[in-house]
Structure 1
Amino acid sequence: MERPRIVPIFFMGILVWCCLAASANASTDYMKYKDPKQPLNVRIKDLIGRMALEEKIGQMVQIERNVTTAEVMRKYCIGSLLSGGGSVPAPQASPKDWINMINEDSELVKRIGAATALEVRATGIQYALHLVSRDPRWGRCYKSYSEDLAVVQAMTEIIPGLQGDISPNSPKGVPFVAGKNNVAACAKHYVGDGGTTKGINENNTVIDMHGLLSIHMPGYYTSIIKGVSTVMVSYSTLNGAKMHANHDMVTNFLKKTLRFRIPISLSSPLDSSPPHANYTYSIQAAITAGLDMIIVPYNYTEFIDGLTYLVKNSFIPMSRIDDAVKRILRVKFMMGLFENPLADESLVEYLGSQEHRESAREAASKILVAGSHADNLGYQCGGWTIEWQKPTQCPFHGQGLQSSLPSRTQLIQDSIHMETQGDSLNLTIPHPGPSTITNLCGTVKCVVVVVSGRPVVIQPYLASIDALVAAWLPGSEGEGQGVADVLFGDYGFTGKLSFTWFC
């Protein structure tokens, strides 16, 4: 029987990097930028000199795959595409979430990163997006590694897994991708979006500089040292100032103080408050602050027109545009996209390979710490699995975790984890979880397995529960295997809580 193909999807979506075509008026003579033997800076300078303003601005734009056509790519010289959900190349996905809460096993995390790179690259995708969360009420808490800075820094080992091992002599702050079997990684969201007031998505983070540098910044330090290829700026607010317009934190600190030479991007929305009150000003503020790439999934023509107007009328200098495009091209040249722009079909054999599935199963077994929707595997994977906000109808190969558990073991599911809609001010277990615990555990000895991407309030039910297991989001290999392996005694409980639970 043909085995199912499983495509690991990481970090809040996937970007497809597109190679830039030569300028229409470019000479047909020898072009240095096409010669891989030329030094990187020489290739960048040569190509920049051949590009028109429209081509440069196109490189700074990322649009949604579902609205893309060949005509759009040619007309607007689009630099990259966003696969924001519902457009994956296979009907099954192995989620990122099984690596997020592991028992600080950095070697396993690196292996998973390498497996992800192979499978993602096989599909033609060359860029994988990859938070300290200080407030579990945040709906995106499941995307973060831990509230513990040491755990977050240890988990950055995913970067050399995705990109390859960086040379000890490699300069810091410069992107690194080892070869065509690797992908570019992105650290996000810079900075402090995991510490917003009450955990509300896109809210304000109130913190002094010492707290910011000691709590939210260390993961970025480590990521830069390991050669991460890009950083994505948050559209949350820091002490009342929108991060995507924060010149001091983006240009002065990240680019100048940390000497970060890689492109800095922004996930949409790029807008003002109230929404769309002055979109042109929002464009100017973001680009002037130092952002190099902007995700504008659908209204890209408005963004392109606005940025073109601002440059042609000297509101934004051409030097700022050139700086942005140089950073983008540096990563693309480093990745070898001009030499290998298409999917490598020889890597297809790695899609859903047994070796990779075993790594996923090992991860699922290691995250355990000693329901409703129990047979829907989508709920056990979280958002950004098949679709952006709706993981409930994912056509996985299994029937879900509940069907594989021992008798008198009940699965309890937290609310769906997604952006904004997943925010919870009280962290209570949603209906019918509480009544399920009461009805089952009030009559027989029972084990409760909590599937969640964050801590939930469990204290009211502890007296009636004989054993409690935090399974986090175990992913597709958690179904029937990773979690059940531990519950049946094949493996011991080795996980450690990466977040504080309220017991």
Structure 2
Amino acid sequence: MAPHPLSSAQQQSVEQLLETMTLSEKIGQMTQPEKNSVKPGDVTRLSLGSVLSGGGGNPDPNTPQSWREMVGAFHEEAQQSRLGIPLLYGVDAVHGHNNVVGATVFPHNIGLGATRDADLVRRIGRATALEVAATDVRWDFAPAVSVPQDVRWGRTYEGYSQDTGVVSELAAALIEGFRGDGWATPTSVLPSVKHFIADAATTWGTSRRADRSTLATDRTLAIAQMGQSFVELLDLGAWQIDQGNSEIDEATLRAVHLPPYQAAIEAGALNVMVSYSSWQGLKMHAQHYLLTEVLKGELGFAGFVVSDWEAIDQIHPGDYDRCVVDAINAGLDMVMVPFDYERFIASLGRAVQSGQVSESRIDDAVRRILTAKVALGLFEHPRTDPALLNLVGCAEHRTLAREAVQKSLVLLKNVGDVLPLDPAGPELLVAGEAADDLGAQCGGWTISWMGGHGPVTPGTTLLEGLQAAGGQVHFSPDGVVDRDYPVGVVVLAEAPYAEGMGDRSDLSLSADQVALLERVRARCTRLVVVLLSGRPLIITEQLPQWDALVAAWLPGTEGQGVADVLYGERPFTGKLSFDWPHSHADLPRRPEATLLFPLGAGLTTDADSIRFPGLQDNAKV
């Protein structure tokens, strides 16, 4: 249990401020709308406590300076309210300040989990905090401390590992990086530890998020920009497990999914975001036992609890007032109401006046929110130094991201030591559109909610990294060539996705990908496959045809980090942070499952060249 974040004098100042606040001002502090919905003057008029940018909630033009100007305008409005309570602006900077064009985009968490390097993650947290703070933002909806149990889940890549201990260690390190020299320093950024709890243990087929009959009127899903229609994605498995029901018992919940939250609190976390999912049939946003008795009581969490995007609406669909009452009474302190913030304010006001929500519950919520704001030093320094803008996407941060990429790669097969490649060797064939696709390399949560293809932000693709290394490289996006090559490198990628839009019932390679592999295999003596993905894919049938396999995950903007390791400038050191299933029959994860590669697998190419025991047999090569 962490000590209280405030001194006795600071706690007294919070109580004094609370005594001066009207009920309307308190409810305003509990309200968090999305920036595109906020009408001019409403931050002042309603004493709104927070504003957020949703995934892709960017200014136009999307530049660091425009971000700072946009966020700063909300801060200035908050200062004009009766009490001048500073605003907390929140963003989803889940792998760097990833909504900002030009920011450094680090590998997604699944790649960082493969590094097992807490110091690296701590340094990434510090760099991310500096870039976030540069845009006048002091709240980041990260880290996800999920412990994924079924890689068909579209948020698998947001989890560091299926190993609770790895998740706990790396999440605490990221929080320490966000904090820097102390929460009250002007470059600290408040982490939002998410999504409480067992969001990664839901059962396939239990999600009720996407209703085919209401897709045309769903304002949230309308924001998503995908290459396929919603109906096509639903047929592929979208929204089958994300936001579903976790049917595990309490002992499993406590042993597997609770420890990362305890580690985060001990590291100083002052905010927790609640999961859309349910536990044993009850929506997490209505779980008084888990939110109030366990999180705030047993774990001694002194910070505040925030809802996810429009999530309280799911408690009792069609009865909004009842949703508000149950969520606040369960322990929600701030509610993310992206579109209809005045409806929430009015509903909660009625609930207090009717006695359905006590004033003491309101005071507890606002006390927790003010505690975080005081701890962050926002009352003394509500704005950050504009000189920080020079750090957004700076060379030092990109070098750090390149290091993270190098350490995240997992070598799972290397017959005849085809890797590392020789940059002075014969011409290398590189095939697959993904080799030169920065968007595919970054994945979801990059500039837009779902991510995209192509040059979505400044960075270096894997192909550009290979070319810059000095070797002879022939690139064929479709793998059609008119001569043979000693070595071919095929880069395969999942299409970018986020959240339930990435749930998939079938994790096999596509027919086009298999055809590409066959074309290149026929033209190469040896074949290396680099897989860009947010999870293990089912590759058992194709693997025997490959001489080498590299799991590169979603490495972000610094693709030369992949090239560094392929060419032997840096060794392969990454280890799987997830079991790699042999077939779809082995999902979800369970002890008796057959594995293609086990958790911890990974070959090395350093001087000692340690191979994982039994790996060749497991891989059937």
State the TM-score bracket (shorter-chain normalisation): 0.7 to 0.9
The counterpart of 1:48, out of the listed 18, 22, 44, is 18
Matched, 1:412 2:492: yes
- Sequence identity, in percent? 40
Q: What is the match of residue 313 of structure 1? A: 354
Residue in structure 1 matching 2:185, options 179, 187, 205: 179
What is residue 112 of structure 1 aligned with on the other side? Answer: 124
Alignment of 1:202-351 (within 5 A): 202-272=243-313, 276-351=317-392
SS of structure 1 residue aligned to 2:364: helix
The aligned runs of 1:130-149 (5 Å cut-off) are 130=142, 131-149=146-164
Which consecutive aligned stretches of 4+ in structure 1 deviate over 4 angstroms post-superposition? 271-275
Report the secondary structure of 2:107's partner residue: helix
The 5 Å alignment of 1:387-466 reads: 387-392=448-453, 395-398=456-459, 400-405=461-466, 408-444=488-524, 445-466=526-547
Measured against aligned partners, the alpha-carbon deviations of 1:39-91 in whole angstroms (never above 9, x if no partner) come to 11111011111111111111111111222344121222211111113316342
Q: CA-to-partner distance for each residue in 1:103-141, whole Å, 9 max, x for gaps?
A: 111111111111111111111000111121111110011
Q: What is the letter of the counterpart of residue 108 of structure 1?
A: L
Question: Residues 239 and 255 from structure 1, CA distance in 2 versus in 1: closer, same or farther, beyond 3 angstroms?
Answer: same
Deviation at 1:314, TM superposition (A): 1.1
Q: Is the 8 A contact 2:110 2:158 kept in 1?
A: yes
Of the three residues 126, 142, 145, the one matched with 2:138 is 126
The aligned residue for residue 400 of structure 2 is: 359
**Alignment partners' CA distance in 1, 2:325 and 2:316:** 16
Q: By how many angstroms is 1:394 displaced?
A: 5.4
Shift of 1:337: 0.6
Q: Given that residues 159 and 228 in structure 1 are in contact (C-alpha distance below 8 angstroms), is that contact kept between their aligned partners in structure 2?
A: yes
Once the two structures are TM-superposed, the CA of residue 227 in structure 1 deviates from its matched residue by 0.6
Tell me, what secondary structure is at the counterpart of 2:195?
Answer: strand
Deviations 1:246-303 (A, max 9, x none): 0011111111111111101111233455974111111111000001011111111111
Which of residues 168, 172, 175 is equivalent to 1:153? 168
8 Å CA contact 1:415–1:429 kept in 2: the answer is no
SS in 2 for 1:469: strand
**Whole-Å Cα distance in 2 between the matches of residues 274 and 289 of structure 1?**
11
> In 1, Cα distance between the equivalents of 2:106 and 2:197?
21
Contact persistence 2:134–2:392 (CA under 8 A) = yes
Question: Which has the larger displacement, 391-400 or 79-88?
Answer: 391-400
| 1:60 and 2:51 aligned | no
Between the aligned partners of 2:310 and 2:107, the Cα distance in structure 1 is 24
- What CA distance in whole angstroms lies between the structure 2 residues aligned with 1:499 and 1:368? 13
Aligned to 1:432, the other structure's residue is in SS state: helix
Distance 1:362 1:110 in 2: 13
Aligned to 2:436: 375
Query: So what's the TM-score if we normalise by structure 2?
Result: 0.71
CA 1:347/1:419 → structure 2, altered by over 3 Å: closer, same or farther? Answer: same
Partner of 1:17: none
Letter in 2 for 1:162: F
Q: Which amino acid aligns with 1:335?
A: L
SS in 1 for 2:160: coil
Of the two structures, which has the highest relative contact order with CA contacts closer than 8 Å and spacing of 6 or more? Answer: 1
Cα offset for 1:431? Answer: 4.9
Residue 97 of structure 1 pairs with residue 176 of structure 2: no
The amino acid of 1:184's aligned partner reads L
Write the distance in 2 (CA, Å) between the matches of 1:496 and 1:404.
Answer: 23
CA distance in structure 2 between the aligned counterparts of 1:92 and 1:348, rounded to whole angstroms: 11
Structure 2 residue runs without a partner (length 5+):
1-5, 68-99, 205-239, 412-431, 467-472, 475-487, 582-595, 597-621
Greater shift, 268-277 or 437-446, is seen at 268-277
Whole-Å separation in 1 of the counterparts to 2:8 and 2:247: 47
- 1:190 paired with 2:206, answer no
Distance 1:95 1:62 in 2: 26
RMSD of aligned C-alpha atoms? 2.0
Gaps of 5+ in 1: 1-35, 166-175
